[in-house]
Amino acid sequence: MGTPSGIQTRVGKYELGKTVGEGTFAKVRRATNLETGEQVAIKILDKEKVMRHKMVEQLKREISTMKLVKHPNIVQLHEVLASKTKVYIVLEYVTGGELFNKIVKQVRMKEEDARRYFQQLINAVDYCHSRGVYHRDLKPENLLLDTNGNLKISDFGLSALPQHLRPDGLLHTTCGTPNYVAPEVINNKGYDGATADLWSCGVILYVLMAGFLPFDESNLMNLYKKIFRADFKYPKWFSSGAKNLISRILHPNPKSRIKIPEILENEWFKTDYKPAKFLEEDAAHLKDIEDVFNEEHLVKEEKRELKRQESKPVLMNAFELLSMSSGLDLSGLFEKQKPVKRESRFASVCPANQIISKIEEAARPLGFDVRKQDYKMKLLGSKSGRKGQLSVATEVFEVAPSLFMVEMRKAGGDTLEYTAFHKDLYVGLEDIVWKNELEVERGER
């Protein structure tokens, strides 16, 4: 379940902190550079698992790609470290969360806000393409926001480089997320990585402005039929300029699809356009990628036990609290969030031990096994779902004396199944969830 609360872990010059994300093959933890005090994010992969699942080449590709791209709208790679058992990819720490969560919260964006994010997205994608890098999995979940609200592309795990092109000059690996993938990728006859990425950008722009997907069917074949025909409708609030541009991007024939140089000259796109500002590029001080699997170039993972009289929830400082909220508006941390996606939070004035017990009490009747360690829990579904076993990581943090924040996030399994589980679980937690005065006055449950 991760590092126990009473254990501090250091890898090289980095002291590892809270887990901020989990996937099937990797965990992301916030960390502090002890030499500079800088906050970073470290993606941690288990070497044995990487090799067992034949992911070595994919990992090398991700690292190679991130070494090539240095742009203000792309999450920056600082360095890559390895111990005997793990690989540590040290990344820029982006505090504003996923663009996906902003869409969920706002339902849809104002056109000018959507355009600004789209301009930054196109800037970064154009830069990648100029270096022969094709992302191949562009979607709001892989777009992060910094403290200033600027977009940052992340997760180059499915990216392709020039050496991945076949003799016909095309890519042939079908990959990506179905709702965002271009028709020629599904067609399995080879595709141009640049035009395929651009299609995904068009879907993202539509989602930002509409609050829902242009192509969305529960049946995969019906979904593909709609994508092949570019069969979608515009909401009434779309401007004619936006509709015109999206129609030219979501053109099912890649040869007729608009190209980035044309987008940059489009009148709707150019409104309030601000080109990316590049800082002077530093040479990336990275060990050779092969060193990741070389026994001669290893860092030590050092653990030390923290001295304290009793186990207590981790104290959340102001920086961490603000990084989870929108500006200074903290109300979002203490309200029932609808719709729930991959993570959620609520506050409670109940004692921390009571919170843990109540979550366990609510989860077990729903068919979940509960594993506890101090004020962390992992809830494991007994059945295998669409994407394997549903796993939910939970931790209680102390925000202030007698005020705690509970963070829950999907650590594995299907997002829709997590949403349904969270809804059922919440019913059993209502009497410990802190409600603000307005909710109490309205009698909201």
Q: What is the pLDDT of residues 117-171, one digit of tens each?
A: 999 999 999 999 988 888 888 998 889 888 888 999 988 776 776 666 667 666 6
Closest by CA to 232, choosing from 218, 246, 219, 221, is 246
Class of domain 99-270: mainly alpha
- ∠ CA(161), CA(162), CA(163), 5° rounding? 90
- Band the pLDDT of 247: cuts 50, 70, 90: very high
Which residue ranges make up the annotated binding site for ATP?
43
Distance of CA 435 to the CA centre of its chain: 28
Tell me the C-alpha distance between 261 and 330, whole Å: 41
Structure token digits, residue 375: 């004020």
State yes or no: pLDDT of 343 exceeds 80: no
| Cα–Cα separations (whole angstroms), residue 193 to 41, 64, 100, 300, 392 | 28, 17, 23, 39, 35
Predicted confidence at residue 332, as pLDDT, reads 40
Q: Are 315 and 338 in contact (CB under 8 A)?
A: no
Q: Across-strand partners of 22?
A: 27
- Band the pLDDT of 311: cuts 50, 70, 90: low
Predicted confidence at residue 79, as pLDDT, reads 86
Q: Please state which of the four CATH numbers 3.30.200.20, 3.30.470.20, 3.50.50.60, 3.30.310.80 is assigned to the domain occupying 314-442.
A: 3.30.310.80
| Spatial CB neighbours of 223, under 8 Å, sequence gap ≥ 6 | 178, 179, 215, 216, 217
pLDDT tens-place string over residues 181-193: 999 998 878 888 9
Which of 27-41, 78-92, 97-111 is least confident?
97-111
- ∠ CA(255), CA(259), CA(265), 5° rounding? 145
Three-state DSSP at 11 gives strand
- Band the pLDDT of 334: cuts 50, 70, 90: very low
Predicted confidence at residue 68, as pLDDT, reads 80
Structure token digits, residue 271: 């409104």
State yes or no: pLDDT of 309 exceeds 60: no
Three-state DSSP at 144 gives strand
Tell me the C-alpha distance between 386 and 288, whole Å: 38
Which of 1-10, 197-206, 239-248, 324-333 is least confident?
324-333
pLDDT tens-place string over residues 174-232: 777 889 999 999 887 888 899 999 999 999 999 999 989 999 888 889 999 999 999 99
Q: Across-strand partners of 16?
A: 31
Higher per-residue confidence, 88 vs 336: 88
Write out the DSSP string of 362-412.
HHGGGTEEEEEETTEEEEEEEEEEBTEEEEEEEEEEEEETTEEEEEEEEEE
Tell me the C-alpha distance between 121 and 153, whole Å: 8
| Spatial CB neighbours of 14, under 8 Å, sequence gap ≥ 6 | 31, 32, 33, 34, 40, 42, 88, 90
Structure token digits, residue 5: 């609360």
The residues that are catalytic are: 137
Q: Give the mean pLDDT of the chain.
A: 80
Write the single-letter amino acid at 62: E
- Band the pLDDT of 77: cuts 50, 70, 90: confident
| Spatial CB neighbours of 428, under 8 Å, sequence gap ≥ 6 | 358, 361, 362, 365
How many other CB atoms sit within 10 Å of the CB of residue 145? Answer: 19
Which residue ranges make up the annotated binding site?
43
Q: Which residue has the tokens 């939070």?
A: 345
7-93, CATH topology level: Phosphorylase Kinase; domain 1 (3.30.200)
Predicted confidence at residue 148, as pLDDT, reads 85
Predicted confidence at residue 337, as pLDDT, reads 40
Tell me the C-alpha distance between 125 and 117, whole Å: 12
Task: Find which of 153-167, 234-248, 309-323, 343-357 is predicted with most confidence, using mean pLDDT.
Answer: 234-248
H or E stretch covering 303: strand 301-305
Distance of CA 437 to the CA centre of its chain: 33
State yes or no: pLDDT of 436 exceeds 60: no
| Cα–Cα separations (whole angstroms), residue 118 to 123, 206, 214, 264, 291 | 8, 10, 16, 11, 37
H-only helix segments in 230-288? 240-249, 260-264, 267-270
pLDDT tens-place string over residues 256-294: 999 999 999 999 999 999 888 776 554 444 455 566 666
Let me know if the fold of 7-93 is the same as that of 99-270.
no
Tell me the C-alpha distance between 240 and 245, whole Å: 9
Overall residue count recorded for the chain in this entry = 445
Q: Are 109 and 209 in contact (CB under 8 A)?
A: yes
Query: Domain residue spans in the chain?
Result: 7-93, 99-270, 314-442
Q: Are 241 and 268 in contact (CB under 8 A)?
A: yes
DSSP secondary-structure letter at 142? G
